[in-house]
Amino acid sequence: MSSSPTLASRLKGRSELGVALLLGAAGALVIWDATRIATTYSQSDPVGPKTLPFIVGGLLLVCAVMLAVNVFRGGKGEAEGGEDVDLSHPADWKTVLPLAGAFIANILLIDWAGWVISGTILFWGSVWALGGRNYIRDGLISVAMSLLTFYGFYLGLGINLPAGLLEGLL
């Protein structure tokens, strides 16, 4: 356990320890944040704003430790199934990363280029990431979706989505 190769072999296939790490970090963060709240004891609020954060942070830290122990003892969280989920193959990052890319592109573009453009990129990019290769049909559907939602939200719900570059045209 002390030498590195055994440690590495013990860590192998235990990616769930990352969850424990995340819980621990979250717990530490919550507690650290609570300690820097400056507050004086007040008769009307004996609990104060720090109590719950300490409890929550403590809960997270305890869960982190227990989860780490559980994983080292061979415990495993059960991955979630579903209608379209096939757990027999490993996570397909070639799908997920482009998908996240399309999402981020939308975040960066939405205020500047407007929803019609950014939404089109989001939908088209997502379809592409998920395996759609009918570029023209996918593109037409993407444009139609963002135009319809833009006008639908404007006329139906009174919500003005940003028009961006196409301001004046739409």
Q: Which of residues 34-93 bind other proteins (CB under 8 A)?
A: 34, 37-39, 43-49, 51-53, 56-57, 59-60, 63-64, 66-67, 70, 75-87, 89, 91-93
Question: Which residues, in sequence order, are CB contacts of 125 under 8 Å at separation 6+?
Answer: 98, 99, 101, 102, 105
Nearer to other proteins, 10 or 76 (CB): 76
Asked if 27 is part of the footprint of other proteins (rule: CB under 8 A), the reply reads yes
Tell me, by CB under 8 A, how many residues bind other proteins. Answer: 84
Among 28, 139, 141, 143, binds other proteins (CB under 8 A): 141
**Nearest residue to 105 (alpha-carbon basis) of 97, 141, 148, 150:** 97
Nearer to other proteins, 9 or 133 (CB): 133
- The alpha carbon of residue 165 and the mean position of all alpha carbons in its chain are separated, in whole angstroms, by 29
Rounded to a whole number of angstroms, the CA Rg of the chain reads 24
Q: Between the CA of residue 54 and those of 2, 20, 27, 30, 40, what are the distances in Å?
A: 34, 18, 9, 7, 17
The least distance separating other proteins from the CB of residue 20, rounded to whole angstroms, comes to 9
Asked if 96 is part of the footprint of other proteins (rule: CB under 8 A), the reply reads yes
The least distance separating other proteins from the CB of residue 85, rounded to whole angstroms, comes to 5
How far is residue 107's CA from residue 12's CA, in Å, rounded to a whole number? 36
The least distance separating other proteins from the CB of residue 170, rounded to whole angstroms, comes to 16
Asked if 167 is part of the footprint of other proteins (rule: CB under 8 A), the reply reads no
Nearer to other proteins, 5 or 84 (CB): 84
Asked if 5 is part of the footprint of other proteins (rule: CB under 8 A), the reply reads no
How far is residue 82's CA from residue 85's CA, in Å, rounded to a whole number? 5
Quote the DSSP letter at residue 164. Answer: G
Nearer to other proteins, 6 or 160 (CB): 160
